[in-house]
Structure 1
Amino acid sequence: MRLSALNLLWRPGVVSLGLGLALLGGVGAAAAAVEVPVVTARPQAVGTGVEYDGIIQAVQQSTVSAQASGRVASLLVKAGDRVRAGQVLATIDDRETQTGVQRSQAQVAQAEADLRNAKTNFERTAELRAKGFVSQAALDAAETQYKAAQAGRDQAVAGAKLSALAQGFTRVTAPYDGWVLQTLVDPGDLAVPGKPLLTVYAPMPLRAVVQVPASQDALARSASRVEVQLPAPAGSAAPTQWVTPTSQTALPAADPVSQTIEWRLNLPDAAAKGAVPGQQVRVRFVGAQVQRVVVPASAVLRRGELTAVYVAQGQGFVLKTVRLGADHGAAGVEVLAGLGADDRVATDPVRAGLAGAQPAAAR
């Protein structure tokens, strides 16, 4: 006969065993209690300013175009492929250019034969003139023919080089090491000089491009520093990081339609490794210093629409919802509401949420 769970709970042996496990669990929890570092939320000086959305761009990005006419015979790469400088990306039907090369080679051979004939005639005429058998006019005519043959040979050689150059244009190559961003033609499409075939870019260096409203241009130019929010390196506790560009350039004219001024911010290679062209980033123009309550970004707990921090209370922690403001990078995240004066905030909300967690000394 099977006993119900209720009967088992009321059996004396089971009750004693349950109490023993509870006591052991209490002892284990006390032994496993962890101390969580806390910081005191006080106003501190942070920089103010404005933030705008920007886009990551490759400093080196090229649209490779055709330099010869003909059908695209083959497309040897696709979007996302890595390429090396000089690597063949596509070929264009070269039957016409091959014919031109053969014709130029034949013209060079004919010009060299004419030059040899003219040279021999000039040398023979010079000998006869020295013996007085021909007139000076005959020698001058032979010399003129010889020089004309030399010019004809030089012209044929130049034509052969031009034909070889046109033949080389049927092989479209990568201008530098990089990646194929997109292909704009397929095999069989007609290629003409100037028609875009592919877009390639170099993975480094990168820059952030931001459109600043013309009305805020003076504020942006007077900023004490400019920062770009990028993905943090692998293994970092924070998901993002604010970095300072290595150089910045504001275009001298505003866009007549959007009334914005383009700023180009070159990024340090080490910090930009996690970014890719086309990715959206935040750009901050930092101004004067003001007093704001901030907490470390790692102290903020985000669960869906909930934004909260663990605040020390007695020997434990309580969860308080907060309303956040601007992210000030290394200084922390601004807290607009939800914290009282001198609240002690846990820097590790995951450990603070464990049973028996205790606050360590404030720092």
Structure 2
Amino acid sequence: MDSQQERTSRQQRHGIGGIGWAIIGTVFFGSLLAIGILPRLSQRSELEAAVKEASTLPSVNVMTAHRAAATTNLELPGSVVALNQTTIYARSTGYLRRWYADIGDRVQAGQLLAEIDSPDTDQQVLQAKAELAQAQANVSQTRASLAKGVADLKQARANLLLALQSWQRWKVLVNQGAVAQQDADTRYATYQANLANVEAAQNTVNSDSANVEAAQANVFASRANFQRYSVLQSYKKVTAPFAGVITARNVNSGALITGGTGNTNTSNTTSTSNTTGTSSTNTSLYTIAAYDALNVNVSVPQSSSALVQAGQTAQITVRELPQRVFSGKVVRTSNAIDPNTRTLLTQLEVQNLDGALRPGMYATVKFAINRPNPPFVIPGSALVVNAEGTQVATVTKNQTVHYQKVGVGRDYGTEIEITSGLTGNESLITTPTVDETEGLRVQPVAQKAK
């Protein structure tokens, strides 16, 4: 009996222990399950809240700025001008006898262009020539007078020497008592007279020498005057100062020409060959331009002025010759910015041996600019210009809108250069609106830069 009770008691104890262990295990595994599920449930709630919040934020398209190319083309308008162009005026006064060149004619340096009838100049040349001959004759006459004066001086000196010796001999005879004092005084008076004659002859020689010098100077002046009128006479033939093309003829045969520098009325001048009725006084005869080499003037903006240097090459095109590309070289700049246009006058030289380019043409000049630190480029729509200045709208790491001031460079139309204000890491709103105010939370949507 006792044994049976003991066995029953042990079985009950073993049963209670199993249940307890089952309960403990259940509690243990329940705790583990709670530890694993509760954080997930919390994270899920937060995620759902974030998704809900994100779905309520306005979305904006964003992009990052990209660097411009290291080499860029700078296209500017230019004006073709002649390397050497001048207006030819007459130096001789008269009537135009004949002209030999018309507009469009190519002429060489020294080629005869026109002849002028100048009777006044011809007479002045004859008069100057006669005055020169008269001056030369006067020199000969004064030289002959000088020669006679020199001979008279020699004779007077010889007479003076003879009178001196005679007086000295008579002086000795007077001391010896051989002759009277009166005779010695006569010899002394003769000596004094000859001395005066020598002085007078010397003065005559000096005067004749001065006359010779004056006559010689008069010859020089007359010769210079004659040469001057001879040169003016040579201007009756008007020649080309250099090789080029005649771009204007302003007179006809028979027109009165006044020698000068173009200070007369030239309102009736014309660049056409049919200048009928040109009878007014007009010293402007021709305009000539050299075409073999031309200049192209370009106004470079101040922002690009430091990038254009002497010796740099550029491509030059004109609308009328679409298949031709001319090569030009920068030969000089004004080295000063025009305060009115804020541009730098730059001059390029281009060869034009075939005469395809003409002065006055409108040209397009393309420079290849190398930039060691190229600026950023953004879409033009990303730029905001308001009372605060020039800005771009960015999205911060906290997904809030922030407006950043920037400096702009060249405008390419759809894109624009940013010279300052960006680091390249900003998320730029591609098309900001007035609703996107400073500090507004937004949902950025990344887009690739074009």
Q: TM-score range by the shorter chain?
A: 0.5 to 0.7
Task: Establish whether residue 217 from structure 1 lines up as the match of residue 241 from structure 2.
Answer: no
Letter in 1 for 2:153: R
How far apart, CA to CA, are the structure 1 residues paired with 2:139 and 2:211?
Answer: 9
Q: Tell me which residue corresponds to 1:239.
A: 323
Letter in 2 for 1:108: L
Pairwise CA distance, 1:278: 2.5
Pairwise CA distance, 1:283: 0.7
> Are the equivalent residues in 2 in contact too, given 1:178–1:200 (CA < 8 A)?
yes
Pairwise CA distance, 1:154: 1.5
Letter in 2 for 1:177: A
Letter in 1 for 2:129: Q
Pairwise CA distance, 1:45: 6.3
Pairwise CA distance, 1:110: 0.9
Alignment CA distance shift 1:254-1:190 (3 Å): farther
Alignment CA distance shift 1:74-1:254 (3 Å): farther
How far apart, CA to CA, are the structure 2 residues paired with 1:258 and 1:184?
Answer: 36
User: Which digits, 9 at most, give the CA deviation of each residue in 1:110-158, with x for residues without a partner?
Assistant: 1111111111111122112112175212222222222222122111111
How far apart, CA to CA, are the structure 1 residues paired with 2:250 and 2:302?
Answer: 37
Which among 114, 129, 135 is matched to residue 90 of structure 1?
Answer: 114
Which among 265, 290, 294 is matched to residue 202 of structure 1?
Answer: 290
How far apart, CA to CA, are the structure 2 residues paired with 1:198 and 1:156?
Answer: 34
Computed over aligned residues only, the root mean square deviation of the Cα atoms, in angstroms, reads 3.3
> Are the equivalent residues in 2 in contact too, given 1:74–1:90 (CA < 8 A)?
yes
Q: Tell me which residue corresponds to 2:227.
A: 161
How far apart, CA to CA, are the structure 1 residues paired with 2:302 and 2:313?
Answer: 13
Structure showing greater radius of gyration is 2
Pairwise CA distance, 1:269: 5.5
Q: Tell me which residue corresponds to 2:125.
A: 101
Structure 2 gaps, min length 5:
1-67, 160-196, 263-283, 375-411, 414-450
Alignment CA distance shift 1:146-1:46 (3 Å): same
Q: 1:1-363 counterparts in 2 under 5 A?
A: 47-132=71-156, 135-187=201-253, 188-195=255-262, 196-212=284-300, 216-223=301-308, 226-230=313-317, 239-241=323-325, 243=327, 245-253=328-336, 260-268=343-351, 274-288=356-370
User: Which digits, 9 at most, give the CA deviation of each residue in 1:71-119, with x for residues without a partner?
Assistant: 3333221101111211221233311100000000110111111111111
How many matched pairs?
A: 242
Pairwise CA distance, 1:184: 2.5
How far apart, CA to CA, are the structure 2 residues paired with 1:143 and 1:208?
Answer: 65
SS in 2 for 1:175: coil
SS in 2 for 1:246: strand
Percent identical pairs in the alignment equals 23
User: Which digits, 9 at most, give the CA deviation of each residue in 1:177-200, with x for residues without a partner?
Assistant: 221111133331443401232111
Alignment CA distance shift 1:246-1:287 (3 Å): closer
How far apart, CA to CA, are the structure 2 residues paired with 1:87 and 1:288?
Answer: 47
Give the TM-score of the pair, scaled to structure 2: 0.48
> Are the equivalent residues in 1 in contact too, given 2:90–2:257 (CA < 8 A)?
no
Alignment CA distance shift 1:143-1:287 (3 Å): closer
Structure 1 gaps, min length 5:
1-43, 291-324, 327-363
Alignment CA distance shift 1:200-1:94 (3 Å): same
SS in 2 for 1:209: strand
How far apart, CA to CA, are the structure 2 residues paired with 1:246 and 1:285?
Answer: 10
SS in 2 for 1:100: helix
SS in 1 for 2:331: strand
SS in 2 for 1:239: coil
SS in 1 for 2:299: strand
> Which structure ranks higher in relative contact order (CA pairs < 8 Å, sequence separation ≥ 6)?
1
How far apart, CA to CA, are the structure 1 residues paired with 2:153 and 2:99?
Answer: 65
Q: Which has the higher strand share?
A: 1
> Are the equivalent residues in 1 in contact too, given 2:305–2:344 (CA < 8 A)?
no
Alignment CA distance shift 1:66-1:256 (3 Å): farther
Letter in 2 for 1:229: I
Alignment CA distance shift 1:113-1:174 (3 Å): same
